[in-house]
Amino acid sequence: MIQTIGLLIAVVWILMEVIYHYQGEIVIAPIKGLMVGALYNADSDEEETEHIIQILFLVFSFNFIWFTEN
């Protein structure tokens, strides 16, 4: 269990550094209930693509959002 928490903290820290490099946004939000998992989504239009990585761990949601030009 402690190794899993340590791994999660390491992944979140690495993602925070990447988001800082790309001048993105980090949103940490509470969840009503318990969830564990991850999600990646990319929405693109003619000019740019919005990337979202969402990591859900128990009662917190960590959302990493950044944009790239097409």
pLDDT at 63: 92
State the pLDDT at residue 41: 96
Query: What pLDDT is attached to residue 18?
Result: 83
Which H or E run contains 21? helix 2-21
The residue to which tokens 């318990």 are assigned:
34
The total of other beta-carbon atoms located within 10 Å of residue 27's CB is 11
For the chain, strand residue ranges (E) read 25-44, 48-69
Predicted structure pTM score: 0.72
Nearest C-alpha neighbor of 43 from the set 11, 68, 19: 68
Write out the chain's pLDDT in tens, 70 residues.
Answer: 778 888 888 887 888 888 888 888 989 899 999 999 999 999 999 899 999 999 898 899 989 898 988 8
**pLDDT in the model for residue 26:** 86
Q: Find residue 42's DSSP bridge partners.
A: 51
